Structure 1
Amino acid sequence: MGDDRWDDWPERWVGTDCDVRAAVSAIPREVKDGFRYDEVPWQRFRHFYGPGAEIPGLLATLASGDAEAADEALWQLWTSLHHQGGTIAVGALAVPFLLRIAATARPQLRAQTLRLAAEIGRCQHMGDGSREGLLQVAEEPLMIEGSTMCPVDWTIQAARQAVTDDLHLLLPLLSDPGPEVRSVTAYVLAAATGELSHVSSALQSRLAEEDDAVVRVSLILAIAQLAREHQDEYAPKWARGLWSDPGRPPEVRIGAGLAWLCLVTDPAPDELRALLTDPGTRQYDDLLQPVPWLTWIDPTGVGLRNCIDEMLTANIPDTVLDDHWGGAPSS
């Protein structure tokens, strides 16, 4: 007899106990606010190294006043929920609690906790600095998690809905005293799926008064990511206005140049190419490495450089690249 377990997969799983989106959306606000972990179905899902029932204990330790234990718990959560850049279903159940813990944690812990929440709601993107990939969030529909056989994109959708449900916790963090917190908050907000005009307006308002280079670029890429996914026709003009304005700070022009390249399919204009390949731009490699989108391109400190190279050389014939970079055919 044939094996019919996968007939109509994943459609027949929609809304069932196997659908993490349904599990996350069913968590009442009072359960999240009260950290009532025992009312969340962790046991339905596994993480990369064990049963999901282990996650509440780590979250409780993360929220404790013991700094050393909290740091260790956060490391374990990263290992369990974000293995080799991938995301897994039980992580989406953790997102509402990670956001609440981050809202009151000490600055360094706050930033890293927010970042984990953001990565749970994003496809594997390590090393992808392409025009198509830098701002990409969704996963291929049929990509599955090996331990749960749940579509990865369901986890991403569930985590992003959790972020959207808790915008009231995130938006105030755009004014946090810590630049790293502001930068990562922009990264999390870029995953929102609702109240988009409100979120984009908040990001724009923060950008108008922000003075930190890393945060500025993070805000620009967050605005562009929302615009790209939701097809904001005004966004390319906005980004071009920023990168083409010599009166803007260099990091703003660089960030807007990357954003523009991700928002359109047009070839890079000579003016933009000159900006991004100018020797003076190299001094921003180290400065902008902490920008969340760039950190994953290359963790050694040249994320910006690799991203620029990949974007500017995409779809250009090798013979043209040889001429551009001064190369010569091998004999």
Structure 2
Amino acid sequence: MSAMDPAVKDGLDYAAVPWERFHHAFGPGSDLPERLERIRCADARGADDQVDVLWDMICHQGTPNAAGALAVPFLIRIALTHPVPLPRALHLVGTLARRSHLGDGTRTGLLRTSAPADSLAFEPSGYVSTWSIQAARQALTEGADLLLPLLSHTVSAVRTGAAYALSAATPPARDRITAALHAHLDAEDDPVTRASLVLAIGELAWEQRDADAVARARAWWQDPARPAEVRISAALAWLCLVDDPIPADLDALLDTEATDHLADLLSPVPWLRHLAEKQGLHTALTQMRNPDDYAWIADLY
């Protein structure tokens, strides 16, 4: 990834990338550059279909692979070539730059971008997945300036996808991305995007447990003037950023505000959609409020 020249990325010069070294990752006979080009050339519906096919090739069953890391800079640029940047492609970029979650909505897992440094996880191909994810995060961070303007896009799904992708960036870009997410939150009127902005801020703060982010998340969930989706997503972020027992006032908030209606409303939020169809919010809260019942999840990663 470090050796990939900017002209290769901007010019979509697929031929400059040694895809053949990674055929074990996406399967012999699978032409990944051709699939990328199909996404670029298709209309919006056809592009989404092609992204789904590509997803199965480079992030099969939720596990990112090495070829996926090489595809990240191209996916970012291809998404931007469409009249409406492709939310599905942005979600794939964000997923490639994260560890496999596979239903992990725990306090230590929901907002965790990378696996522990001393872990040794493997892709189905046998390649070390920690390396692939780090390479994808690097590529995403280098493309952050292309994604930041999408936080102002007129289509809410694009804003949500951009927030999800940007929250997986590495620390060198953390402060400016966090500042941009904050700048857009108060002006945002879409509930799914609001919740996604809050969780993105939390994820960027997770690795360093940023004290300002912790204090702000607590202030948000304690503020009755905030919309329910902001208070509940801030509660999720706060629970992930601290080790404190769940306080009584937060328990009461979760009992009253985390309704079936809110869970359904927030089901498109990328962090929750990976947990359970229509029940992602409830799944996360169940795991967070009953950690002893879900301690086994940590052993999967």
Give the TM-score normalised by structure 2.
Answer: 0.92
Farther-moved stretch of structure 1 (241-250 vs 97-106): 97-106
2:184 paired residue number? 206
Structure 1 residue 30 corresponds to structure 2 residue 7: yes
Structure 1 residue 271 corresponds to structure 2 residue 280: no
Q: In the alignment, which of 90, 107, 110 is matched to residue 134 of structure 1?
A: 110
Structure 1 residue 228 corresponds to structure 2 residue 206: yes
Distance in 2, Cα, partners of 1:30 & 1:75 = 27
2:57 paired residue number? 80
Distance in 1, Cα, partners of 2:257 & 2:177 = 35
Superposed CA offset, 1:218-260 (max 9, x none): 0001101111113312211110000001111111101101111
Q: In the alignment, which of 155, 165, 174 is matched to residue 196 of structure 1?
A: 174
Superposed CA offset, 1:273-296 (max 9, x none): 111122663320100000000001
Is the 2:274–2:280 Cα contact (8 Å) retained in structure 1?
yes
Segments of 5+ residues of structure 2 without an aligned counterpart are 294-301
* Gap change, CA 1:49 and 1:34, over 3 Å in 2: closer
* Gap change, CA 1:244 and 1:216, over 3 Å in 2: same
Is the 1:127–1:297 Cα contact (8 Å) retained in structure 2?
yes
1:296 paired residue number? 274
SS in 1 for 2:179: helix
Q: In the alignment, which of 71, 79, 84 is matched to residue 102 of structure 1?
A: 79
1:66 Cα deviation (Å)? 4.7
Which structure has the highest helix share of the two?
2
Q: In the alignment, which of 149, 152, 156 is matched to residue 179 of structure 1?
A: 156
Is the 1:62–1:74 Cα contact (8 Å) retained in structure 2?
yes
SS in 2 for 1:134: coil
What one-letter code is carried by the residue in structure 1 that aligns with 2:52? W
1:156 Cα deviation (Å)? 0.6
What one-letter code is carried by the residue in structure 2 that aligns with 1:79? D
Structure 1 residue 50 corresponds to structure 2 residue 27: yes
Distance in 2, Cα, partners of 1:39 & 1:201 = 35
* Gap change, CA 1:280 and 1:97, over 3 Å in 2: closer
* Gap change, CA 1:280 and 1:224, over 3 Å in 2: closer
1:287 paired residue number? 265
Is the 2:103–2:275 Cα contact (8 Å) retained in structure 1?
yes
Aligned CA-pair RMSD: 1.9
Distance in 1, Cα, partners of 2:76 & 2:258 = 38
* Gap change, CA 1:70 and 1:183, over 3 Å in 2: closer
SS in 2 for 1:90: helix
2:290 paired residue number? 313
1:327 paired residue number? none
Is the 2:195–2:229 Cα contact (8 Å) retained in structure 1?
yes
1:125 paired residue number? 101
SS in 2 for 1:195: helix
Superposed CA offset, 1:97-144 (max 9, x none): 00001112243x610001111111111112111101101111353112
Superposed CA offset, 1:60-105 (max 9, x none): 1110145565344222101101111111100000000000011122
SS in 1 for 2:259: helix
Is the 2:99–2:115 Cα contact (8 Å) retained in structure 1?
yes
* Gap change, CA 1:157 and 1:214, over 3 Å in 2: same
Q: Percent identity?
A: 46
Structure 1 residue 164 corresponds to structure 2 residue 122: no
- Which of structures 1 and 2 has the bigger CA Rg? 1
SS in 2 for 1:209: coil
SS in 2 for 1:43: helix
What one-letter code is carried by the residue in structure 2 that aligns with 1:127? G
Q: In the alignment, which of 239, 245, 251 is matched to residue 229 of structure 2?
A: 251
